[in-house]
Amino acid sequence: MPQGDELEALLGATAMFFCNCRGEGHPQLEELQKRSIEMILGAAGRQGVDIEEGLEAWFTQQRLNDPEYFLPRLNQRLEEIVGDGWLFDPSQISMGE
């Protein structure tokens, strides 16, 4: 994936979402949370966002705080990349809670 691509931010937001929704009790939760934050910070930085001053506004503007937006958008982007080459039936996977 090209650095700075929207997909990078979508993956980071999804990782954060799953840590928050399904991570309780996971032995590596702290490490996974750290990595998801690093993904978001990296995506923002590569998109030219001033991390100190503009991160929160960028996060909101990109709708990365709205799983009803970013989960379907991630799925759409993955479908664009994979096309008909899925190794499994993606309709059988629920990305929501």
- pLDDT tens digits along 2-42: 566 789 999 999 999 999 999 999 999 999 999 999 999 99
Contact (Cβ atoms closer than 8 angstroms) between residue 22 and residue 16 = no
Cβ neighbours around 69 below 10 Å, total:
14
pLDDT band, residue 97 (cuts 50/70/90): very low
pLDDT, tens digit (0-9, with 9 covering 90-100), for 37-86: 999 999 999 999 999 999 999 999 999 999 999 999 998 998 888 887 77
> What residue spans of 1-97 are helical by DSSP H?
6-22, 29-46, 51-61, 67-82
Entry pTM: 0.81
What is each CA distance from 35 to 22, 31, 61, 80, in whole angstroms? 16, 6, 22, 25
Whole-number Å distance between alpha carbons of 91 and 96: 12
SS3 (DSSP) at 9? helix
